[in-house]
Amino acid sequence: QLQLVESGGGLVQAGGSLRLSCARSEFTLGYYAIGWFRQAPGKAREGVSCISRSGGTTNYADSVKGRFTISRDNHKNTVYLQMNSLKPEDTAVYYCAAVMTTVQALCVMTPNEYDYWGQGTRVTVSS
């Protein structure tokens, strides 16, 4: 079963940057669309960004547009989430998720669409 591993979380001051990684070397992530989600304490899990199999299609939540960038390197079986200009409201546990698809442009930010999840990495932004 595909299990993803997130890394790159941590504590950062407001205005700072972090880069999250989502990887699983034993599998070819190029067959999967990938999504990033986050869950803050007491809140529902929300979609942050997604990227299609080839990387040609991306999407972002309105709250992170212009600050976050998703990308992927299929040769390294890794998907990245570059987070700039971080705000305290970005504080959450961030999860990556994968869904195998034959649709090249598939890119969705609905958690129920994804089959495989990582354990999450915590991001804390101090004011």
Per-residue pLDDT tens digits for 14-71: 999 999 999 986 778 889 999 999 999 999 999 999 999 999 999 999 999 999 999 9
Looking at residues 71-90, what average pLDDT do you find? 96
Residue 90 has pLDDT above 90, yes or no: yes
106: its two tokens? 């598939």
Write down the mean pLDDT value for the chain.
95
What pLDDT does residue 28 have?
85
The number of residues making up the chain comes to 127
What pLDDT does residue 25 have?
66
What pLDDT does residue 96 have?
97
**Of 8, 19, 105, 16, residue with least CA distance to 69:** 19
Percentage with pLDDT > 90 across the chain: 90
Cα–Cα dist 97/30, whole Å? 13
C-alpha triplet 62, 49, 91: angle, nearest 5°: 75
What pLDDT does residue 26 have?
74
N- to C-terminal Cα separation, the chain? 39
Tell me the β-bridge partners of 79: 22, 72
DSSP per residue, 61-104: -TTTTTTEEEEEETTTTEEEEEE-S--GGG-EEEEEEEEE-S-T
What pLDDT does residue 27 have?
73
Residue 72 has pLDDT above 80, yes or no: yes
